[in-house]
């Protein structure tokens, strides 16, 4: 009898969905960053011993649960039907990455699963591999995850949101590594540790009297502690560099979503006029940087040919920057 019928396919999907929802909970608004250290391992566990397509489906289900929860804000767009379709379609597309990740990582597993074993036999076969093989496998899981995130951020213009490392934004000593590796380095650490914890849990489940499980998490834990120590030293050094300050003006027009999606020319002109008035007021304080929010502009900055007060958007915005000698972050 095949493994998927012993465990029940629904249990595999339930475990995958649980991992996906816990992963979403690591991000705001819930923001339990610690869940980001265990959720990838739970998602990976859902593919244990599965046939290739079953492992892919498990990863897809987990990813679908994650993206549906993480991208809930798409439903706040105040137009009928389209947000729901976009929410489902985008979540389904992005879930292909998680499906491929689970499939690829288990394909690379040093233990050979024939799909006809009991759960006990699967776990024993996994533990029959050497520590070195499991170490390499857990590192490979982290590398594959980073490859997923880098592809997601770039393919078909990219979707660089919900990257795992971003969930740790409050843990300042840890995320100092991003100054060298970008957010992907933080994601790597989380997935490496989570995969190692999965290996340790298998050891605890099958051989509870032995302490070999601690060897599974020793390497990633040591690296993480070392990087946190380096991050603390780096933060201390930055604090001692001096008291240099940068004056920044943040303009937030606070325009309701219903108005932002109103494409009437007179409404768009009114929005832009409000943005310019607030910016002119902020610029009287002589900031070095002026920041506008994502949806501040009524049209595409570089390509819009619509005129506002006789000029295109690009001409107006660049003229504002030149007139006041200020750097700008737009959108």
Q: Rounded to whole angstroms, how far apart are CA atoms 244 and 254?
A: 31
- Residue 258: what pLDDT? 78
Backbone angles phi, psi at 93, to 5 degrees: -65, -45
Q: What is the pLDDT of residue 240?
A: 64
Phi, psi of 44 (to 5 degrees): -70, -40
- DSSP-assigned beta bridge partners for residue 289: 248, 327
| pLDDT value for 6 | 42
Q: Is the C-alpha dihedral spanning 18, 22, 28, 29 positive or negative? A: positive
* 117 Rama sector, left if φ>0, alpha if ψ -120 to 50, beta otherwise: beta
The pLDDT profile of the chain, 331 residues, written as one tens digit per residue, is 344 444 468 889 999 999 999 999 999 999 999 999 999 999 999 998 888 889 999 999 999 999 999 999 999 888 888 899 999 999 999 999 999 999 999 999 988 776 656 777 888 888 888 899 999 999 999 999 999 999 999 998 899 999 999 999 999 999 999 999 999 999 999 999 999 999 999 888 777 666 677 889 999 999 999 999 999 999 988 766 666 788 999 998 888 877 778 778 888 888 899 999 999 999 999 999 999 998 888 888 888 888 887 888 899 999 999 999 999 999 7
Token pair of 81 as six digits: 């039907």
Report the chain's C-alpha Rg in angstroms: 25
Give the model's pLDDT for residue 44: 96
């Amino acid at each position: 009898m095949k493994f998927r019928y012993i465990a029940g396919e629904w249990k595999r999907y339930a475990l995958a969905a649980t991992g996906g929802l816990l992963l979403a909970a690591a991000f705001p608004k819930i923001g339990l960053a610690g869940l980001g250290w265990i959720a990838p391992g739970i998602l990976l566990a859902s593919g244990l011993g599965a046939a290739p397509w079953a492992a892919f489906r498990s990863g897809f289900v987990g990813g679908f649960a994650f993206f549906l929860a993480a991208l809930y804000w798409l439903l706040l767009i105040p137009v009928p039907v389209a947000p729901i379709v976009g929410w489902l379609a985008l979540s389904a597309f992005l879930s292909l990455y998680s499906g491929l990740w689970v499939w690829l990582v288990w394909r690379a597993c040093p233990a050979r699963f024939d799909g006809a074993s009991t759960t006990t036999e699967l776990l024993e076969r996994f533990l029959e591999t050497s520590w070195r093989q499991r170490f390499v496998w857990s590192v490979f899981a982290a590398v594959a995850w980073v490859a997923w995130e880098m592809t997601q951020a770039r393919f078909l213009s990219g979707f660089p949101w919900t990257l795992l490392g971003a969930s740790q934004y409050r843990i300042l000593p840890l995320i100092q590594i991003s100054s060298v590796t970008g957010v992907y380095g933080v994601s790597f650490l989380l997935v490496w540790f989570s995969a190692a914890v999965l290996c340790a849990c298998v050891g605890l489940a099958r051989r509870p009297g032995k302490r070999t499980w601690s060897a599974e998490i020793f390497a990633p834990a040591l690296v993480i502690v070392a990087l946190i120590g380096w991050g603390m030293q780096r933060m201390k050094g930055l604090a001692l560099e001096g008291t240099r300050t940068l004056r920044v003006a943040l303009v937030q027009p606070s325009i309701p979503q219903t108005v932002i999606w109103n494409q009437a020319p007179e409404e768009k002109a009114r929005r832009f006029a409000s943005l310019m008035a607030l910016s002119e007021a902020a610029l009287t304080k002589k900031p070095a940087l002026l920041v506008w929010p994502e949806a501040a502009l009524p049209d595409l900055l570089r390509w819009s040919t619509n005129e506002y007060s006789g000029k295109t958007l690009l001409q107006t915005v660049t003229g504002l920057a030149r007139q006041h000698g200020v750097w700008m972050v737009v959108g």
